[in-house]
Amino acid sequence: MHVVPLPALADNYIWLLHDDAGQAVVVDPGEAAPVEAALKDRRLQLRAILLTHHHHDHIGGVDALLARHAVPVYAPRDERIATATHRVGDGDRVALEQPRCRFEVIAVPGHTTTHIAYAGEGVLLCGDTLFSMGCGRLFEGTPGQMLASLDRLSALPGHTLVCCAHEYTAANGRFARTVEPDNAALAAREREVMSLRARDQPSLPVSLSTERATNPFLRTDSEGVIAWSRRQGIDGDRIARFAALRANKDVFSG
């Protein structure tokens, strides 16, 4: 399975997965044009659409794609996604024959209450829940919900490739450095990202093991994050530490 990030809108990635036989699935198509161009350039046949949540920059291109491709649309149980043909939730499995692939559906409330992720074929399609060195804003969920969601994703195998839906990595790294300035793995990841972005290359996908070593939102129990929290006057439990991280990131302008 080939995994391709398609830049879209301001800083989104639509994820295209395809096999060597020309069968493809797309994830969170916020607009149709990049998908249609990739299908044409790579001589692919679209077979399915997977959606993680209802925000327009993730579903805005679905109608236009369905006008040209009669394919199933897998989406969370959320009436705000009117184009869904298959509603899926936590513990469900999406099994496609073309391309042949299997994904486990994981409920990850936090960014929205009905957000889901798809894990399988060595990749994690996580929408706006997990970003490289960051996580999504809490528009509908609570800090406890988001932390529990991130815990579930972090427990996946370390070789899993994290396919986030936005190119936020450089900015996230700058915030992460204020939390753990002595984290050598974080410094190495920042150098890698700077090199990639200087060549206009995506910083994604990234291995989950790298995220566990560099992402403060996955490291609420680390010595570095605990020390940072104490400097902020937070001496509570891990949810309090996570909430402090998220609140500080919300106003960070570095």
CATH number at residue 127: 3.60.15.10
Q: How many Å apart are CA 5 and CA 29, to the nearest integer? A: 11
> Torsion angle of alpha carbons 17, 218, 106, 98, nearest 10°?
10
Please write the tens of the pLDDT for every residue from 107-156: 999 999 999 999 999 999 999 999 999 999 999 999 999 999 999 999 99
Whether 128 is catalytic is yes
Bridge partners (DSSP) of residue 131 are 134
* Average pLDDT of the chain, as a whole number: 97
Whether 115 is catalytic is no
Residue 86 lies in a domain: yes
Whether 63 is catalytic is no
Catalytic residue among 18, 28, 53, 69: 53
Whether the pLDDT of residue 254 is over 80: the answer is no
Whether 57 is catalytic is yes
Is pTM beyond 0.85? Reply is yes
Q: How many Å apart are CA 135 and CA 151, to the nearest integer? A: 12
Residue 148 lies in a domain: yes
Catalytic residue among 28, 78, 92, 128: 128
Residue 41 lies in a domain: yes
What is the count of structural domains for the chain?
Answer: 1
Residue 253 lies in a domain: no
User: Whose CA is closest to 122, among 40, 1, 245?
Assistant: 1
Domain carrying residue 19 = 2-218
Residue 171 lies in a domain: yes
Residue 198 lies in a domain: yes
pLDDT of the residue at 236: 82
Whether 111 is catalytic is yes
Q: 């990639």: which residue's tokens?
A: 196
